Amino acid sequence: GNSVTQMEGPVTLSEEAFLTINCTYTATGYPSLFWYVQYPGEGLQLLLKATKADDKGSNKGFEATYRKETTSFHLEKGSVQVSDSAVYFCALSDRSTGNQFYFGTGTSLTVIP
């Protein structure tokens, strides 16, 4: 079946530190992969996505590369800011299983000045 596993949080970093949030997946078909961000008290916002192997999604300084050989989609940012403090969700959708999304459990990030 389909599933997403992402690293446990919470993660606390100092401003300008390098960020990596690990995400691995299991899929029966050829999934599309996503990162969503949820700021306190708000809904989820799409951060970036990749639809096929070796694609790199990027947005607001965040990047993630779709690695089929390692079934991974790790989120990275070179220099985090206090405003990046949020919960980050990795997700996949698989055409073979219709319209459903499979979300990871979320990783809470706190960036301190």
Partner 1 sequence: SQTIHQWPATLVQPVGSPLSLECTVEGTSNPNLYWYRQAAGRGLQLLFYSVGIGQISSEVPQNLSASRPQDRQFILSSKKLLLSDSGFYLCAWSVGRPGTQYFGPGTRLLVL
Binding site for partner 1 (CB under 8 A): 32, 34, 36, 41-46, 49, 89, 91, 93-95, 98-101, 103-106
Token pair, residue 72, equals 């991974």
Comparison of 34 and 66: residue with beta carbon closer to partner 1: 34
Q: How far apart are CA 33 and CA 3, in angstroms?
A: 11
Least distance (Å) from partner 1 to the CB of residue 112?
A: 20
- Given the complex with partner 1, which of 65 and 97 has the nearer CB atom? 97
Q: How far apart are CA 68 and CA 82, in angstroms?
A: 32
Q: Which is nearer to partner 1, 65 or 103 (CB)?
A: 103
* C-beta separation of 73 from 67 below 8 A: yes
Residue 83 contacts residue 18 (beta carbons within 8 Å) = no
Q: Closest separation between CB of residue 18 and partner 1, Å? A: 25
Task: Sort strands 86-93 and 101-103 into parallel, antiparallel or unpaired.
Answer: antiparallel
Minimum distance of partner 1 from residue 47's CB (angstroms)? 11
For residues 10 and 113, which CB has a smaller minimum distance to partner 1 in the complex? 10
Nearest approach, Cβ of 88 to partner 1 (angstroms)? 11
Separation between Cα atoms, residue 102 and residue 80, nearest integer Å: 27
